[in-house]
Amino acid sequence: MKISKITVYQVTLPLEHPYRLSGGRLYFDKLDSTIIAMDTDEGIRGWGEGCPWGSTYLPAFPRGVRAGIEELAPQLIGLDPRRIDFIYRTMDTALPGHPYIKSALDMACWDILGKSTGLPLCELFGGRLDQEITIQNSVPTGTPEEMIESIKRGQAKGETIHTCKIGADVALDIERIQAIGAYLPANETATFDVNRAWLVDEGMRVMNSVKEPILYFEQPCETYEECLQLRQLTYHPIILDECIQAYGHVVRAQADRACEAIGLKIGRVGGLTKARRIRDFCVETGIRMNIEVTGGSVIGDAGSVHLAQSTPLTHLRATWLCHEMLTVDTAKGGPRNKGGKTSAPEAPGLGVEPIMDVLGEAIAVYQ
Asked whether the CA dihedral 321, 97, 19, 279 is positive or negative, the reply is: positive
Alpha helix (H) residue ranges in the chain: 62-76, 84-94, 99-117, 121-124, 144-156, 170-183, 200-207, 224-231, 247-256, 266-269, 272-285, 298-309, 356-359
Report the alpha-carbon distance of residue 70 to residue 152 in Å, rounded. 43
Report the alpha-carbon distance of residue 108 to residue 45 in Å, rounded. 8
Report the alpha-carbon distance of residue 357 to residue 274 in Å, rounded. 32
Strand pairing report for 27-40 and 3-20: antiparallel
User: Active-site residues: which are they?
Assistant: 165, 265
| Strand order across the beta sheet in which 161-165 lies | 136-139, 161-165, 189-193, 215-218, 238-240, 261-265, 288-292, 316-318
Cα–Cα separations (whole angstroms), residue 105 to 16, 38, 310 = 28, 8, 21
CA dihedral 98, 104, 108, 109 (to 10 degrees): 10
- Please classify residue 312 by burial: count the beta carbons closer than 10 Å to its beta carbon, then call 0-12 exposed, 13-18 middle and 19+ buried: exposed
- Are residues 272 and 302 in contact, defined by beta-carbon separation less than 8 angstroms? no
